[in-house]
Structure 1
């Protein structure tokens, strides 16, 4: 990611390696290139963070549906009868 490298001051992990056996004559050196692995991890983290920010922005722009409160349930027959009895008792007093 060249643009990221410019922002970070030209940091490039790809060239890092641990040399197990140095080069002798025409025999090439034997080493472990751990810099490529670190570079891949850094690239992945940058892409994952960018994708996270994009998805978060899209979710915040999405309109949230306003849900109407559910209508209260109709009173049961028992409660209607009890209310009628109560009203009749009030009228008798």
Structure 2
């Protein structure tokens, strides 16, 4: 049982996932700070309030903190957008790398022939 666990934990996917979770947690604190310290005050300028988390509605004895919910939605949207950009950039990089890797020897020879023909025409 211990041997199976060692094999499982040493697989690349598990280690990659662990690194992703750790970096994701650190990234979340950065995004939270960005939302709390930069974006919320900017939105607050237009709403007339600096801190959205203070927006509440009281119904009887219940208090609904919809400002905190708005903060969470903004936080999610920023994280989702940044992840989207990262995936888009990585996908573009992989496509470029695949195109470079797929150049066959025939293509290289054809490029050399074209280059030689252009030199002969001059």
TM-score, normalised on structure 1?
0.52
Work out which of the residue numbers 31, 34, 57 in structure 2 matches 1:3. Answer: 34
Report the number of matched residues.
61
Q: Which residue is equivalent to 1:15?
A: 54
Distance 1:9 1:38 in 2: 10
CA contact (8 A) 2:55 2:68 kept: yes
Distance 2:35 2:64 in 1: 25
Q: Which residue is equivalent to 1:71?
A: none
RMSD (Å) for aligned C-alpha atoms: 2.3
Gaps in structure 1 of 5+ consecutive residues: 22-28, 69-93
Structure 1 or 2: more helix by fraction = 2
Alignment pair present for 1:40 and 2:79? no
Gaps in structure 2 of 5+ consecutive residues: 1-31, 45-50, 105-122
**What's the CA shift string for 1:35-56, capped at 9, x where partnerless?**
1111111100000000000000
Question: Aligned to 2:63, what secondary structure does the other structure show?
Answer: strand
Q: Which residue is equivalent to 2:20?
A: none
**Could you list the runs of 4 or more consecutive aligned residues of structure 1 that deviate by over 6 angstroms after TM superposition?**
none
Larger Rg: 1
TM-score, normalised on structure 2?
0.41
Distance 1:9 1:35 in 2: 10
Q: Which has the higher contact order (CA 8 A, sep 6+)?
A: 1
